[in-house]
A and B are shown apart, each in its own frame.
Chain A
């Protein structure tokens, strides 16, 4: 594969699946700088993964696999930028769009962020309609194990949402 072909595939994947990458970034990184950093790390891993893609799985599954694996290790490894905006003159790769964001989505991301790294991955896959079998393949665990974790996560999200409704936010 030539570098030009790799570049074309990369641009195509990023263009078509950027929403997927944004979800992972938002679920694993809190500040703008961290989100920028994680997004870069994921895109580099995506770039590196292109020659190894054999079309045995869909591009979405492949990208989820790469981005979740990267995010989990990034959380454990990287020094986080806890200050919200430390360096103003840095060119950010990710720029937040000025759109009206559903407050319930902001709440949902906050709840996902409270989960541990593994459960965050499972929640993203669950919300994006992956089957137990696909999740088991991405995570490398049994389908029954996936089922146990999903039941627990669903109960958690529903109970949290009831508190959210109760407070009338």
Chain B
């Protein structure tokens, strides 16, 4: 077939759509999905901010109330509150950055990559932030007169948490990489060896 014939085959479907829409089901699905409008990033950000600030304030409050808290626990409380503030500022910058992208496919991909980059950075930060928190918690427990093994146990727990959060980080990294490859395909004028189907023709 020549291209004009291919086009005629294509145009024929305009007169006879291939599907029928179940409008009631569609309407119900839209309503239910609108309720889930909060993106996963939104939720994980807010949860992290609440968890860090809440825990930081709680530790600080307990230390001040008891007036016998160790210096490590004060540092831990400060660290957690600073982490919460950092997350909050990052969130505001992310939301403001959303307006920079145009509506083209390139702009949309750039936006998706920017979101993926943000998720990669956030998950990396969360992953490695576990370690100073673990060390400070372990030192605080040890300084409070508890057994050294208790402190070591806490440290091991945080190391495992760091390892586990590496999985999440790798998922975000893979997603970002896939989007970057797409952007490259879109922008590159000479696909060369990235079009294996061309070589088979």
Contact = CB atoms under 8 A, between A and B. Distances in A.
A93 B26 contact: yes
Contact of B6 (A116, A117, A161): A161
Contacts of B197: 114-115, 156
B154 interface: no
Consensus secondary structure, chain B interface = helix
Interface stretch (B55-63, B72-80, B143-151, B184-192): B184-192
Contacts of B19: 18, 22, 25, 35, 94-97
Given A105-B9, A105-B12, A158-B2, A72 B105 contact: yes
A43 B185 CA distance: 26
Interface residues of A, number: 62
Contacts of B34: 44, 47
Contact of B18 (A101, A148, A165): A101
B29 A40 contact: yes
Contacts of B122: none
Contacts of A133: none
11 contacts: A23-B13, A40-B30, A65-B103, A65-B105, A92-B25, A93-B22, A94-B22, A95-B21, A99-B18, A128-B10, A159-B201
- 5 closest A-B pairs by beta carbon, nearest first, are A140-B106, A140-B104, A161-B1, A159-B201, A69-B108
Interface of A: 14, 18-19, 22-23, 25-26, 35, 40, 43-44, 47, 65, 68-69, 72-73, 76-77, 91-97, 99, 101-102, 104-105, 108, 114-119, 121, 127-128, 137-141, 144-145, 148-149, 152, 154-162, 164-165
